[in-house]
Chains A and B, each alone.
Chain A
Amino acid sequence: MRFQRGRVVALIGGSGSGKTTILRLIGGLLKPRAGAVTFEGKVLHTLDRDGLYAARRRMGLLYQFGALFTDLTVFENVAFPLREHTALPEHLIRDLTLLKLNAVGLRGVAHFQTSQLSGGMARRVALARAIALDPPLIMYDEPFAGLDPISLATVAQLIRQLNDALNVASILVSHDIKDAFAIADYVYLLAQGRIAAEGTPAQMQASADPTVRQFLDGDIDGPVAFHHASRRSLQQDLGLEP
């Protein structure tokens, strides 16, 4: 897989197909058993702690439920990376934080506690926090899950706008095909831990590959089986056969 600046790449696939695992590999939270993740010319799992932390400073990851720090206010959450990694004076941190919050449309809730936010707002605040250090790579883990249609459209539009305005590489993990296809430039379809298909959204839509078709059309029957693999047959489990 390749992720370049200026492009939104979507990783789609069913639950358990390995989408989130890929984000954790790219973030260096997991080490690959085989293969390698190369970020800005460096192989991540060969880096020491400082090297890995330096690489992570240049990535932003938006968690599915935001993962905001519950003991800090909205403002302090967004200011957190700036405070930890820069020695900027307080008034600059304030300005930058408010600008980031403004970019996601939530400058007005800066003084809120995180518990006062709705799910969609929490995700937008987390997005502001993820872009606080202007990373060249932003990863989104299921950014649409559980959002109402308006929040969903807002978040989707934000992802596209941020990608184009900041010229970053965006990786979008989703199982929401319609919305992912609407903003993605390129799509990888994962199934059972492998790349089952790849291409632009238009190519994917036109594909005749059975795995792609099953996933896009939401068919129950297809290469991805409805039944999880079992060592014994149903008849055996019910005691009808030895």
Chain B
Amino acid sequence: MSATGFAPVRKVIDALQRVGYGTRFFLRLCLLALASLRRPRLVIDQIHFIGNYSLSIILVSGLLIGFVLGLQGYYTLRRYGSEEALGLLVTLSLVRELGPVVTALLFAGRAGTSLTAEVGLMKAGEQIDAMQMMAVDPVARVLAPRFLAAVICMPLLAALFSAMGVLGGYLVGVQMIGVDAGSFWSQMQGGVDWLLDVGNGVVKSIVFGFTVAFVALFVGYEAEPTPEGVSRATTTTVVVASLAILGLDFILTALMFSSH
């Protein structure tokens, strides 16, 4: 038996150790991501791979969410005779909440899983080992450019998502239902605050970018190098990243909008 003996104590120590390891890994990844700016080619390749291939799902989802917001928003606003506020409602919902959150969830499913699986399979194929044997730090060479690329992609994708959503709301609200186009746009223009609404949304999506990228890469890097290990890691990425996004969203929203 071990020297510390008492099982619950050991469990707590183990858990703290894992938290500490994860935190150090995160900080190291952040530093190395900055260093990987010296090799922009690697980062650009990953932006292409991670961002570009996520575009279609993000754009289509944004449009569809915009359609639904247009419909639901119209039915609710009509009760109060304020249909012309539809543009404002759709836009605020998107830039404050749905844009960052839904984009992050989709991103975790689309890009996060592929990052986890890629890194996990590289490990299973001894590629990570081989890189270490070649005196190349795999965290710097493989993980850091992917991390930076994901962090850069997330706010851009969220912005595109919101833009598509506004377009969707416009198509349904104005073109289909017949809300006045002038008031749709002018209410939106007048009611949305750049810093409070758009700015906070961007902050959220940056935080989510760090979250998804870290979870996906960390879980992939720590995956057991077997087929079962990689498949389990992929699932873990979706579950942990999604919960982290939703939890962080609540905390961020409380911090950002509590004083209003």
Binding site for B on A (CB under 8 A): 27, 29, 52-54, 56-57, 59, 61, 63, 65, 67-71, 80-81, 84-85
Quote the shortest CB–CB distance from A80 to chain B (angstroms): 7
Supply 15 A–B pairs (Cβ within 8 Å), ascending by A.
A29-B129, A29-B132, A53-B137, A56-B132, A56-B133, A56-B134, A56-B135, A57-B135, A61-B130, A65-B125, A69-B122, A80-B134, A80-B136, A84-B136, A85-B135
Q: In the docked arrangement, what's the CA distance between A63 and B122, Å?
A: 14
Contact B135 A54 (CB under 8 A): yes
Q: Does any Cβ of A come within 8 Å of B126's Cβ?
A: yes
How long is the Cα–Cα vector from A67 to B225 in the complex, in angstroms? 13
Evaluate contact between A84 and B141: CB separation under 8 angstroms.
Answer: yes
B127: interface (CB < 8 Å): yes
The answer to whether A70 and B125 touch (CB under 8 A), given A63-B130, A84-B141, is yes
A103 to B136, CA, bound (A): 24
Per-position 1/0 for B130-149, Cβ under 8 A of A: 11111111000100000000
Min CB distance, B127 to chain A, in Å? 5
Q: Please, how many residues of chain B have a CB less than 8 angstroms from a CB on the other chain? A: 16
Give B contacts to A, CB under 8 Å: 118, 121-122, 125-127, 129-137, 141
Interface of B is mostly: helix
A59 touches B133 (CB 8 A): yes
Q: Tell me the complex Cα distance, A114–B148, Å.
A: 26
Quick check: A84 and B134 within 8 Å, CB to CB?
Answer: yes
A27 touches B134 (CB 8 A): no
CB distance from B163 to the nearest CB of A (A): 32
The CA-CA distance from A164 to B8 in the complex, in Å, is 60
Bound CA span A214–B135, Å = 39
Interfacial chain B residues near A59, Cβ < 8 Å: 133
Contacts of A29 in B (CB 8 A): 129, 132-133
Separation of A53 and B126 alpha carbons in the complex (Å): 18
Which residue of the partner chain B has the closest CB to A56?
Answer: B135
CA distance A90 to B132 in the complex (A): 24
Q: Contacting A67 at CB < 8 Å: which of B118, B126, B135, B136?
A: B126
CB distance from A142 to the nearest CB of B (A): 12
Bound form: Cα–Cα A53–B139 in Å: 14
B135 cross-chain contacts in A, Cβ below 8 A: 52-54, 56-57, 84-85
CB neighbours of B121 from chain A (8 A): 70
With A and B bound together, what is the CA distance between A68 and B125 in angstroms? 8
A56 cross-chain contacts in B, Cβ below 8 A = 132-135
- Could you tell me if A65 and B133 are in contact, using CB atoms closer than 8 angstroms? no
4 closest A-B pairs by beta carbon, nearest first, are A67-B130, A67-B126, A53-B135, A56-B135
Q: How far is the CB of A85 from chain B (nearest CB, A)?
A: 7
Could you tell me if A65 and B126 are in contact, using CB atoms closer than 8 angstroms?
yes
**Which residues of B sit under 8 angstroms from A67, Cβ to Cβ?**
125-127, 129-130
- Determine if A70 and B129 form an interchain contact, defined as CB atoms under 8 angstroms apart: no
Chain A, Cβ-Cβ closest to B137: A53
